[in-house]
Structure 1
Amino acid sequence: MEVDTGEESFLCQVCGFTFSKELDLQKHMCIHNEDNSQKSNLKKSMSSGQKTFSCTFCESSFSAKCNLRRHELTHTGEKLYSCEICESSFSQKSTLKRHMHIHTGEKAFSCEICGSSFSQKSNLKVHLHMHSGEKPFSCEICGSSFSLQSILKVHMHTHTGDKPFSCEVCGSSFSQQSHLKGHMRVHTGEKPFSCEVCGSSFAQKSHLKGHMRIHTGEKPFSCEICGASFSHKLSLKGHMHVHTGQKPFSCEVCGSSFSQQSHLKDHIRIHTGEKPFYCEICGSSFSHKLSLKVHMHTHTGEVGDFHLMRKDLL
């Protein structure tokens, strides 16, 4: 395969391949020299099953010298096969062939179940785990299993506490690169995930998923004590304080404590005087949303359940 680069090239007289360096041609010629001199011996050793060629680095042995040579490249790190497009180099010709799919866009390996196609056979094999539900990679600490070894590797950070991905802006660190990527939107203000119902946008896909429950009315998180259900896991966690009596959120001004952070936030307005909730009819402002709701009854004439006002705001 000849590529005209305008530079001096070295031609293989056997197969026609050209190389930009004479050293690369010399390395390449080993393939042909080996094929010619070892052909008869290779045929004999293959038929007999003998493995007469031993690796000088480990205890592996091979029936063909060419296979031994390929194997020893894994020890030496030598990379004889180079990509003429991006100059990446590989120790195996087959690896170079697979790499070329990146440039050609060829996806020769197709899933017989859903039709998805892949450039690498290994990627197809991983994809098939989605259909089979197979999770061959297990955590030795907690027993969780995963379809990909890379996911298991990320999971291990939860046990080690390792957070190798750091934000260059604020220094926050994360166990997963995807978490860092999501965190960066705090700094950039990017909100790529949009609600198709109301148009609200979010920085995190999980936030959009939680928001959608407002429209669907879905409440998948249930209290095992009283059966109350919630659209968000955090809301359930806050609700549990009702049963335990725990009030972990304390006011730094007066010392009052609350079972939920949102209640503390409402309470703080007593000290700050902030009244962010406005009546669109008369312009009156209130520190709490519930107070505004009660006030609206004066305009509508509706009789409200005033006794339901939260005592823990005070």
Structure 2
Amino acid sequence: MTEISSETCKTSSLAESNAQENLLKQSLKKQYSCGVCCSSFTTKSGLEIHVRIHTGERPYVCNTCDAAFTGKSQLTIHLRRHSGEKPYVCQVCDASFVTKQNLKRHLHSHTEEKPFACGVCPSSFVTASYLKRHEQIHSGDKPFACDVCTMSFTTRSILKRHAQIHSGEKPHACEICGSSFARKDDLKGHVQKHSGEKPYSCGVCGSSFTEKSSLRVHMRIHTGEKPHSCSKCIASFATKSALNRHTKTHTGEKPHLCKLCGSAFSQKTHLKIHLKTHNNKTPTVEKPYYCKLCGSSFTLKANLAVHMRKHAGLQPFPCRICDASFARKDYLKAHLQMHCGGEPHLCNICGSIFSEKTDLNKHLKTHDNLEAEKRFSCDVCPQSFTLKSNLAVHMRIHTGEKPYRCKVCDSLFARKDYLNSHMQTHRK
């Protein structure tokens, strides 16, 4: 006879109890409707509390912090946060919660039950409210509009957080350094920087993070997920901020200005690199190579040649993933962080790019003779190559020649491996 653990019995009985409660709620008709919006309620008192959202009435006030609420039950729940009371206890693992709703959500972690399924995609959720929020992704519905700007949001809580941008309100202060934040979770992440605590660890590579959201973004390096796509080209990115930086390559926007010479840059990292050129404008014994156009001086002739590309408009370092190109290799490397979701690893021999250092090490073994003399030099820039064929491929950067054509969309590429990478976008 199979032995059934007491924990399994508890879990199954809780799941059955929740299912019965859901059926009871579904059987009750919501006969009390709001005259302002389309919400409806099973009780008259529920409707009266809801109407206060529209009137702004909040008659229930906390004596400790002056927070006000539309209903008495909301005030009761709020007061528990001051007292630390958590009356709802999980019968399976003894975890305790402030509200019955939070306990119900927690119980699904034991049953793994997600009864609320999306009708559009395969996603399912533990609560109806989670499903409703998810469905707004498909519908594009953003009913909560900001009164100050044109932005709108899927939930009232997100709108409330957004409003703090306009008000400048930062109610959550750090007790260690005095820094203040608009959101409590931002403060929590900040405090962990003081303690050095990084409680969120990656199960793949062992990297750890102070915030759960940072771990979530990091995991995209391993999964290859790039949910933020460019509307102008085929490039996609792991983070929205990376997409925003990339978009500037299409718009030509260069918001970061050098106060010394007026040069403009699309990224702050590019400006920081540029500012180093102003450290010493006078040719000396240490820096004998002098630019006649702007006065910058350099220790090596090769560095001067790289600098002159800025004046000539040359951008010999193209991105293999999108159509951006750069005057310097370090600019390209900074740009590649957007695609890789972190520090990119470049092969110094052929320019191949890898998101993981282990992949780069494997790739380096494919080069038969790493120490071979680089006899074939480029006449335009300082680069040199071990093989004449590699120089021929490199020269296409300067000539603009792109002999490899995509048979699907007629896009042109300077190298065959660039074309091969591009072809994968048509197979998705």
TM-score of the superposed pair, with normalisation by structure 1: 0.47
Q: Which has the larger radius of gyration?
A: 1
Using CA pairs under 8 Å that are at least 6 residues apart, name the structure with larger relative contact order, 1 or 2.
2
TM-score of the superposed pair, with normalisation by structure 2: 0.36
